[in-house]
Structure 1
């Protein structure tokens, strides 16, 4: 319960990461973060019903923080509340997916171009170091860790653009399609292709080649869009 440090596991038909309950964060916030991460990671699949009683029991909490979390997830568009039926994880259509990537194509190119102009030497080194970590993780076959590092790479690239508004917009767009990322990267050879594309972007940024950075980033988004669409079609 709130105020007590504990490790518990939520298992709604599949194993999820342990949840830490302690006195430093509100219980409703912990429950929200846990369910949100489960949705965007795909552990709670599109169309899956969220049962308050079951979730509360498995988390070891009352139904109140679960109910509050579900309402907050609805506000983010991750959950739909259907009258007389309950709460369900929302889906994303292929049309919506295409729309997101159309916007990302333009904005990711802009972010990379700005990064080539504004990135500090330290940020460039961090990007290069991150690529090495991704390479090692691919070799280890840890798909979920690759997804986490891929997120870090893009967030660092956005930060290197020096435009906080652009960073926020792109981060939100990526969250909308995050649930397909593990599926898309799990396709044979996709991780290696993405890593090669990332290296091309960083090389252009390091050389301060603005147009090349933009083009390499947009090529990566086109490639990623194709992989995402295939992952979406295979659900």
Structure 2
């Protein structure tokens, strides 16, 4: 647990919500990588809370598929499941091709400005080698495409559908090739956004398909480098 990153408790946040948020964010950012043993007693001491909110956080995380309870062995951060990634890739490609088609037809001006700023920020993150901020901005860019088409709730469904996909992407821009990966994703983002602004449906869909499919190619490489993270 020495890699666990503590975050400040929000003013109106309950102890239960705080414990869950800390563990969730640490798992999703791979500070607690797949396979990490989780101890209620140890975490309650680190978070300075009783064991009850930690136990409740464990239950919620297990329901999301982020923790796995192995009889006689203990509780562990779940491994990344390749089969689920393949299914989610199909879901995401199908959905986001439809989203960029909608965006090419009509995209609200406030979100156009936000997209431009998002691309600007990503350029800075790439230049500074800031992988964590780039990943957050990557999610922001996709969410803006949904919001600009009037489909923000569908983006939330996407976010909640497969957390393994998100963890695989974090791993991909956090290893030794982070700079190369960020640069490539940044260039793809620029092409997608420009195609939307130009109302070029084919260019937007073609690049979005390539962009989403990239994760499966990357996973094949990552499984060789980090076999202990995948199940």
Residue 167 of structure 1 corresponds to 155
Aligned pairs, how many? 223
Q: Matched residues in 2 for 1:210 and 1:129: separation?
A: 22
Q: Matched residues in 1 for 2:92 and 2:110: separation?
A: 26
Residue 222 of structure 1 corresponds to 213
Question: Mean alpha-carbon deviation: is it higher for 211-220 or for 190-199?
Answer: 211-220
SS in 1 for 2:101: helix
- Give 5+ residue unaligned stretches, structure 1: 1-11
Q: Matched residues in 2 for 1:230 and 1:39: separation?
A: 21
SS in 2 for 1:80: strand
Contact 1:94 1:232 (C-alpha < 8 Å) held by counterparts: no
Q: Which among 177, 186, 193 is matched to residue 195 of structure 1?
A: 186
Q: Matched residues in 1 for 2:168 and 2:224: separation?
A: 10
Residue 14 of structure 1 corresponds to 3
Contact 1:56 1:66 (C-alpha < 8 Å) held by counterparts: yes
Q: Deviations over 1:136-175 (max 9, x none)?
A: 0111111111111111111112222323453233222453
Contact 1:158 1:166 (C-alpha < 8 Å) held by counterparts: yes
Q: Matched residues in 1 for 2:219 and 2:146: separation?
A: 21
The CA RMSD measured in Å over matched residues stands at 1.8
Contact 1:131 1:199 (C-alpha < 8 Å) held by counterparts: yes
Contact 1:104 1:173 (C-alpha < 8 Å) held by counterparts: no
Q: Which has the higher contact order (CA 8 A, sep 6+)?
A: 2
CA 68–127 in structure 1, closer or farther in 2 if over 3 Å, else same: same
TM-score (norm: length of structure 2): 0.89
- Give 5+ residue unaligned stretches, structure 2: 227-231
TM-score (norm: length of structure 1): 0.87
Question: Mean alpha-carbon deviation: is it higher for 167-176 or for 134-143?
Answer: 167-176
